[in-house]
Amino acid sequence: MAYSEKVVDHYENPRNVGSFAKDDDSVGTGMVGAPACGDVMKLQIKVNPVTGVIEDARFKTYGCGSAIASSSLVTEWVKGKTLDQAAALKNSEIAEELALPPVKIHCSILAEDAIKAAVNDYKQRHAAPAASAAVPETVN
Ligand code: FES
C-alpha cells in the first residue's frame, strides 16, 4: 500500500516533534494508544492562559507513518485555535487531508483522541480558578 504524498511529507519532515516540560503550567498533555496495533501517541499543547489560545504544540508518536503524519498535521492545525476549536477537530478532516485509506483511519482517530486528551488535561489542571472565582466572598 502506498502512502499519499502528504503522509510521506509529514513522515519525512515531521513538524513539532518533541515535548514540553511536564511541570509547565501552560501545558496540556494527551497520551493515547491504539489497541489494534499498539501504536502510542503523545501530544502536548501550550496555551496562553489569558486568551485560552493554543500557541504551540509538540508530539511524540511511536507508530506507523500515518500516525506520525496525523499527529504532525494536528500540531500544525491547532496552533492559533482555542481549546474548544481544537477539541472539535475531527479525525475525518485529518484522514481527508492526508488521503488515508480505510485501514489507516484508526491512525487519524488516534490523533483526534490525543488532541482531545491534551485539551481535557489542560482544562482539568485549570478548572480551579473559575470555580473559586464563583465562590461568594463575605462583604462587610
Ligand atoms: Fe495503528 Fe497506524 S497502524 S496507528
pTM, two decimal places: 0.88
Across 1-140, the runs of DSSP E, i.e. the strands, are 27-33, 40-47, 54-62
For atom 3 of ligand 1, the residue with the nearest CA is 64
37 has catalytic annotation: yes
Do the Cβ atoms of 74 and 114 come closer than 8 Å? yes
- ipTM attached to this prediction: 0.98
Q: Could you read off the pLDDT of 17-64 as tens digits, one per residue?
A: 999 997 899 999 999 999 889 999 999 999 999 999 999 999 999 999
Q: Which three cell numbers stand for residue 111?
A: 490523533
Domains of the chain (ranges, CATH numbers): 5-123 (3.90.1010.10)
Whether 39 lines ligand 1, by a CB cut-off of 6 Å, is: yes
Whether 64 lines ligand 1, by a CB cut-off of 6 Å, is: yes
Task: Please tell me the distance between residue 65's alpha carbon and the centre of ligand 1 in angstroms.
Answer: 8
Options 7, 89, 107, 111, the catalytic residue: 107
